[in-house]
């Protein structure tokens, strides 16, 4: 796998000291998403900011600089709020970003925190009108006596300016914490899911939404599961899936898939909770991630997954420590490549893993500054059991750094470009050569 | 670097960890996270089940020993023809022995379990002060539990044990957030009179009131016959045996909290073991008030 730049200073100038392990919490990336063409990459962080990267067009003069992602725009999406009724502070952390398919010159994206979803318009301005009759260059109204002739204002090129403006605010529809948003293939509606309910919105209507799933029990003491993720089918606008903390997937409507693995007597519920679900691009398969595995499901086969991939099974014996330090609650995301032949997901120690569904080969790679100089080729890593035979560059399970976790990953919709969020750094890797991963 | 050395995977430490997490979640920014608390309650439930099973196994082993010893003693001391005369004499001593037994065994059991009593007590009191509780004590009939303890076959009544409560909490004052009523709950929680205490009623080997000689040379073939007989005889007495233990301590401990959070989200009840289903509906209904504390938004 190839190379590419890591985050520009814009993301971590707020306090990241390279020599120390100190990270400003507001800079921690909480979501990553390519748009539908892959030209734009949006990241959200715990401080409520969104940073959009744009891929540079291919340049004939410098073939190797083609396709690098540079900062395109930065804006504050959400601010911390206070719910006075419940005496709760609402975090500004961006939980999810989803792009709308582009329909005109502007781009639109949805961003959400725990409670409120916002629709943003991202537009470019690279021209501005000059030669006003009644205003001067600075915009001040001219004294009418000084106007002696009339001219037609002309659009002149200017430095590219990216403007981001909030177009809709969808608020007050969720009692619990919003964990997913998904845009429908009809491009008119989208859904937002919290722990117990899923609401359907029309993009133009902010004062009401339709509740389409409600799993809140009549008596909260009877609660046994929550919704963990939800997504619309990429082609069928009536189908969507939601996953639960019990490890079940529900394809709505009416179809249902159940999963039940018993791992340990204490933690079986936690490790079967599905943290992310993604439709394949074809719409035929589902990819789910629970704590230790990633599973591919066939929509036509309910009873069990088609494929199960062990992401970091060596953690199975460490579940108690991981419960103690809260790592067992980490929610890893997963991603398909453009052709649905490879799946990717993150792990600890800044490792991320890819599984080729056809060749059944897998690789573990690391996102770190040391191993990611521009143009460097990533070296496959290996985790071995404690005390086991180690080759050079292997790392033992006990040496893994559990503070370095890759929760959010994204794969370019068509090309082999991946975005990896490692705490407060964004890594973008490109495959320049046709590697064996296809 | 976070240590990955395996922590002691014992139920006790998981229970205290879980309770701390639930407690801390109340002050977390962004409000109580329902999903995480739900998962923590699952761990708590699982750990509690394991903890109770381990406790039962231990008590059962102790009970077997005690029964054997008692029967041996009674073979020595009882004259089968003078039963009526001895009843009145022994009644009071039995009662005292019962209470004494409870106290000593409770202490022993709890000291084994409570590795960090202070930490647990802080957690417990912090939780309790924030938790609503149902008014007053809806206490099930002690005889319901005690009589079931003294089946002839130790195996069968082991299976019927309700959830275990090792220890009594003496007094707690709580504010019910729903009704704004301040309640002082005395004599602990609702299934504190579960059988482990009753088990030892009448087994007077360590009774302070009545010392018995411990004889090991008893005849085994007569043991079972006598134990059936003495069990039947003692059943009537035991129903009078008070469970207000003079040796209460002031701090709640993990066993109390296990019972409080035991049913967790009571929808999990259907998956609990048969052991626990014997618990009275009243006991469980009162736990609902506690679980509301977890899910309150």
Contact A50, A118 (CB under 8 A): no
Most confident range, picked from A396-410, B102-116, B139-153, B160-174? A396-410
Q: Do B6 and A321 touch (CB under 8 A)?
A: yes
Q: Do B7 and A324 touch (CB under 8 A)?
A: yes
Q: Are strands A227-232 and A240-244 parallel, antiparallel or unpaired?
A: antiparallel
Low-confidence ranges of chain A (pLDDT < 50): 1-20, 254-264, 434-438
Residue B63 and residue B39 in one domain: yes
Q: pLDDT value at position B208? A: 40
Give CA–CA dist A400/A420, Å, rounded. Answer: 18
Question: Is B296 domain-assigned?
Answer: no
Provide the token pair at B143.
């005889």
Question: Is B63 domain-assigned?
Answer: yes
Higher per-residue pLDDT: B141 or B19? B19
Q: pLDDT value at position B268? A: 37
Which residue range(s) make up the domain with B20? 1-30
Question: Is B37 domain-assigned?
Answer: yes
**ipTM of the shown complex:** 0.82
How confident is residue B121, by pLDDT bands cut at 50, 70 and 90? Answer: very low
Question: Is B160 domain-assigned?
Answer: no
Q: What is the pLDDT of residues B178-203, one digit of tens each?
A: 454 555 555 544 343 333 333 344 44
Hey, is the C-beta of A402 within 8 angstroms of any chain B C-beta? Answer: yes
Question: Is B221 domain-assigned?
Answer: no
Q: pLDDT value at position A12? A: 33
Residue B71 and residue B40 in one domain: yes
Question: Is B12 domain-assigned?
Answer: yes
Beta bridge partners of A73: A52
Q: Do A320 and B34 touch (CB under 8 A)?
A: no
User: Averaged over B75-85, what is the pLDDT?
Assistant: 62
User: Averaged over B94-112, what is the pLDDT?
Assistant: 41
Hey, is the C-beta of B112 within 8 angstroms of any chain A C-beta? Answer: no
Q: pLDDT value at position B85? A: 46
Mutate to test the interface with A, among B1, B9, B29, B35 (most CBs of A within 10 A): B35
Q: pLDDT value at position A388? A: 65
Q: pLDDT value at position A391? A: 74
Q: Do B295 and A195 touch (CB under 8 A)?
A: no
Residue of B nearest to A113 (CA): B30
Structural domain count, chain B: 2
Q: pLDDT value at position B173? A: 53
CB count within 10 Å of CB A357 equals 20
Q: Do A269 and B42 touch (CB under 8 A)?
A: yes
Among the candidates B40, B57, B76, a domain finishes at: B76
Question: Is B60 domain-assigned?
Answer: yes
Q: pLDDT value at position B16? A: 93
Residue B6 and residue B39 in one domain: no
Question: Is B180 domain-assigned?
Answer: no
Q: pLDDT value at position B198? A: 36
Angstroms from B264 CA to nearest CA on chain A? 8
User: Averaged over B206-234, what is the pLDDT?
Assistant: 40
Hey, is the C-beta of B209 within 8 angstroms of any chain A C-beta? Answer: no
């Amino acid at each position: 796998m190839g190379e590419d730049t890591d985050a520009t200073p814009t993301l971590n100038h707020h306090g990241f000291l390279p020599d120390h392990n100190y990270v400003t919490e507001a800079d921690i990336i909480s979501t990553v998403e390519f748009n539908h063409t892959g030209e734009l990459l949006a990241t959200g962080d715990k401080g409520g900011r969104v940073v959009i990267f744009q891929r540079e067009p291919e340049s004939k003069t410098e073939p190797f600089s083609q396709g690098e992602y540079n900062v395109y725009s930065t804006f504050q999406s959400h601010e911390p709020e206070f719910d006075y009724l419940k005496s709760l502070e609402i975090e500004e952390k961006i939980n999810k970003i989803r792009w709308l398919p582009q329909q005109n010159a502007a781009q639109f994206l949805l961003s959400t925190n725990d409670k409120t979803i916002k629709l943003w318009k991202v537009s470019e301005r690279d021209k501005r009108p000059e030669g006003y009759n009644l205003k001067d260059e600075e915009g001040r109204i001219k004294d009418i006596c000084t106007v002696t002739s009339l001219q037609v204002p002309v659009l002149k090129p200017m430095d590219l300016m990216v403007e981001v403006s909030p177009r809709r605010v969808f608020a007050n529809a969720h009692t619990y914490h919003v964990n997913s948003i998904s845009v429908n293939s009809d491009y008119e509606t989208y859904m937002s899911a919290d722990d117990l309910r899923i609401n359907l919105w029309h993009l133009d209507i902010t004062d009401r939404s339709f509740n389409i799933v409600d799993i809140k029990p009549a008596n909260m003491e009877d609660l046994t599961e929550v919704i963990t993720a939800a997504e619309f089918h990429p082609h069928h606008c009536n189908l969507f899936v939601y996953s639960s903390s019990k490890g079940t997937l529900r394809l709505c409507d009416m179809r249902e898939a159940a999963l039940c693995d018993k791992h340990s007597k204490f933690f079986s519920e936690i490790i079967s909770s599905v943290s992310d679900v993604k439709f394949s691009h074809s719409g035929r398969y589902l990819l789910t991630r629970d704590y230790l595995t990633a599973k591919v499901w066939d929509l036509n086969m309910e009873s069990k997954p088609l494929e199960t991939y062990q992401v970091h099974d060596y953690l199975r014996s460490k579940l108690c420590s991981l419960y103690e330090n809260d790592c067992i609650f980490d929610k890893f995301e997963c991603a398909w490549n453009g052709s649905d032949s490879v799946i990717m997901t993150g792990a600890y120690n800044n490792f991320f893993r890819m599984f080729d569904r056809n060749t059944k080969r897998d690789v573990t790679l690391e996102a770190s500054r040391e191993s990611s100089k521009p143009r460097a080729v990533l070296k496959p890593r290996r985790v071995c059991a404690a005390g086991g035979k180690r080759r050079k560059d292997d790392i033992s399970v006990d040496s893994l750094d559990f503070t370095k976790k890759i929760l959010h990953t994204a794969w370019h919709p068509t090309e082999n470009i991946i975005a990896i969020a490692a705490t407060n750094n964004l890594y973008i890797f490109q495959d320049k050569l046709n590697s064996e991963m296809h | 670097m976070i240590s990955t050395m395996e922590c002691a995977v014992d139920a006790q430490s998981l229970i205290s960890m879980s309770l701390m997490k639930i407690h801390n979640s109340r002050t977390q920014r962004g409000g109580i996270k329902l999903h995480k608390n739900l998962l923590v309650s699952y761990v708590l439930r699982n750990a509690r089940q394991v903890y109770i099973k381990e406790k039962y196994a231990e008590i059962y082993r102790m009970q077997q020993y005690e029964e054997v010893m008692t029967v041996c003693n009674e073979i020595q001391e009882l004259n089968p023809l003078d039963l009526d005369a001895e009843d009145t004499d022994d009644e009071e001593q039995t009662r005292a022995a019962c209470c004494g037994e409870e106290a000593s065994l409770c202490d022993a059991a709890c000291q084994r379990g409570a590795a960090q009593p202070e930490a647990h007590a802080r957690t417990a009191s912090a939780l309790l002060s924030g938790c609503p509780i149902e008014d007053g004590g809806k206490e099930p009939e002690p005889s319901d539990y005690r009589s079931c303890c003294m089946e002839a076959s130790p195996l069968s009544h082991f299976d019927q044990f309700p959830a275990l409560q090792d220890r009594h909490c003496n007094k707690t004052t709580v504010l019910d957030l729903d009704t704004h009523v301040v309640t002082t709950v005395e004599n602990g929680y609702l299934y504190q009179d579960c059988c482990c205490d009753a088990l030892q009623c009448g087994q007077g080997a360590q009774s302070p009131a009545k010392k018995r000689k411990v004889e090991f040379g008893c005849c085994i073939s007569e043991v079972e016959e006598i134990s059936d007989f003495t069990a039947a005889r003692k059943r009537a007495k035991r129903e009078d045996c008070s469970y207000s233990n003079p040796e209460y301590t002031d701090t709640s401990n993990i066993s109390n909290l296990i019972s409080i959070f035991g049913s967790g989200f009571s929808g999990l009840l259907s998956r609990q073991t048969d052991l626990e289903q014997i618990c009275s509906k009243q006991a469980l209904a009162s736990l609902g008030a506690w679980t509301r504390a977890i899910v309150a938004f």
